[in-house]
Amino acid sequence: MGSRTRSGSARVGRRTATTGASTPSGVRTALRLLGAALVAAVAVGLTPAAAGAAPRPSDAEVEAAERTADAVESQIRELGGALAAAQGSVDAARARSVLALDEYQAMQGAFQVAQQEAVVAAAAAAQATADLGVARDAVVAFARRSYMEGSTYAGAAALVTAGDPGQLIERAALLEAAGSHRSDVLDRVTVLQEQATAADAVARETLATAAGLQSQAEEALAVAQSAEVAARAEAAALSVQQAQLQTQLAAAEQQLATLVGAQAAADRTARAARPIAAPPRAPARPTGNQDRAGDGDASAAATAIDAAMGYLGLPYAWGGGGTNGPGPGLAPDKGVIGFDCSGLTQYAYAQAGISIPRNSRAQYAALPKVSSDSLRAGDLVFWANDPSDPDTIRHVAIYLGNNKVVQAPQSGDVVKVSTMWWSDYAGAVRPSA
């Protein structure tokens, strides 16, 4: 539909007093002008006469009818613009939601890595503490023996009781080695003390980092859930509004056909609905892994495709699924078992033995890039709010070849095969390369 609308046509939140439904102000104007158009049409005798032939209209009457037809055509454009604006608003809300979900998944992934690092650091600190305890026990044992023997040099008696000079030299050498060992034990205590202190500091730091990332992930999830709830509410309101607008649009098109004839009305309606060409969008800038993908492993790609195709018809679950297969979605899809878009792609390649990140932006950043004219079956293809900015990537699918993809589209939909689309296309990667 065309995008030129009057200033009031996009204000879809106003409600009429008679119906209580959400109706754009431009639509109300349209209805008033359509009524005026009908009156004008009757006045100039363009509606069928009840009986007999209508008199030949004057030039002024013809001009008035033409002006009326132009007004109706303008209102068709208004109604189409209102529909397009409402749909665009819903699409933007959905885009914000999936981008927020992607942000949460990225933060959750970072938290899980930090949590694993914290566990490893805590284990290292515990081992360092245990080693220090063993070394300290050795020092305590030495001190106890020295006290009981009345000397810190327990080998003095051995030297005194030597039977000859040769035995004396031999015992002295052994005692010197023992003394060096005691010195080594003390040195080891010092080193282990330093290591234990450092390990404890690392453990505390990684634990704090994990806790901070967990808090950020929880905040990101709350933002994403709020955006998804708002998007779904707006989509529900749009479905009602679309029915109203389509009814009004059909009435306008019928009225135009009455004024100028079916073919001329069709031509005018097509002209009114013709969209204004959008300016070209810049290609996606390189980000993350900027390597150009090689041929890749066709067998691995085929395995990934088969894995995804095995779940055709499975419900989309917002935030659901991953490496291990379908999983429960997050609220507001709590209780739905399925995949979101990046959960499906991660699972598919896990079945081929290839580990890829959980969220779509990270998948694009981590993997070698493929140009649009070099796509092969198994490549991951991405879409973004701004195709020139990979940070706004919001959707991923698996390219099947022959201009088809398999994808988990959005809530309320299912895993399915779709025709490849190029609007908002951001780029592609090859996980098997």
In tens, the pLDDT along 6-18 reads 333 333 333 333 3
| pLDDT-derived band at 145, boundaries 50, 70, 90 | low
Mean pLDDT of 327-348: 97
| pLDDT-derived band at 155, boundaries 50, 70, 90 | low
Which range among 135-144, 263-272, 372-381 shows the weakest confidence by mean pLDDT? 135-144
Q: So what's the pLDDT on residue 349? A: 98
Q: So what's the pLDDT on residue 45? A: 42
Buried b (16+ CB within 10 A) or exposed e, 25-59: bbbebbbebbeebbebbeebebeeeeeeeeeeeee
The 8-class DSSP code of residue 410 comes to S
Does 353 have pLDDT greater than 80? yes
Of the two residues 51 and 70, the one the predictor is more confident about is: 70
Q: So what's the pLDDT on residue 185? A: 60
Does 282 have pLDDT greater than 80? no
SS3 16: coil
190-239 residue pLDDT tens: 888 889 899 999 999 999 999 999 999 999 999 999 988 988 888 888 77
Q: How far apart are CA 190 and CA 121, in angstroms?
A: 21
Question: What's the pTM?
Answer: 0.63
26, 1 Cβ separation under 8 angstroms: no
Q: So what's the pLDDT on residue 33? A: 45
Determine the Cα angle at 157 with ends 154 and 159, to 5°. Answer: 105
311, 330 Cβ separation under 8 angstroms: no
Q: So what's the pLDDT on residue 6? A: 35
| pLDDT-derived band at 161, boundaries 50, 70, 90 | low
The length of the chain in residues reads 433
Scanning the structure block, which residue is given the tokens 């000397």? 151
Question: What letter represents residue 168's amino acid?
Answer: L
Buried b (16+ CB within 10 A) or exposed e, 289-299: eeeebeebbee
Work out the percent of the chain whose per-residue pLDDT is above 90.
42
| pLDDT-derived band at 343, boundaries 50, 70, 90 | very high
Mean pLDDT of 303-317: 98
Among residues 336, 337, 354, which one has the least CA distance to residue 345? 354
Q: So what's the pLDDT on residue 2? A: 39
Which range among 53-57, 73-77, 374-378, 412-416 shows the weakest confidence by mean pLDDT? 53-57
Q: So what's the pLDDT on residue 158? A: 54
Which range among 20-34, 84-98, 215-229, 272-286 shows the weakest confidence by mean pLDDT? 20-34
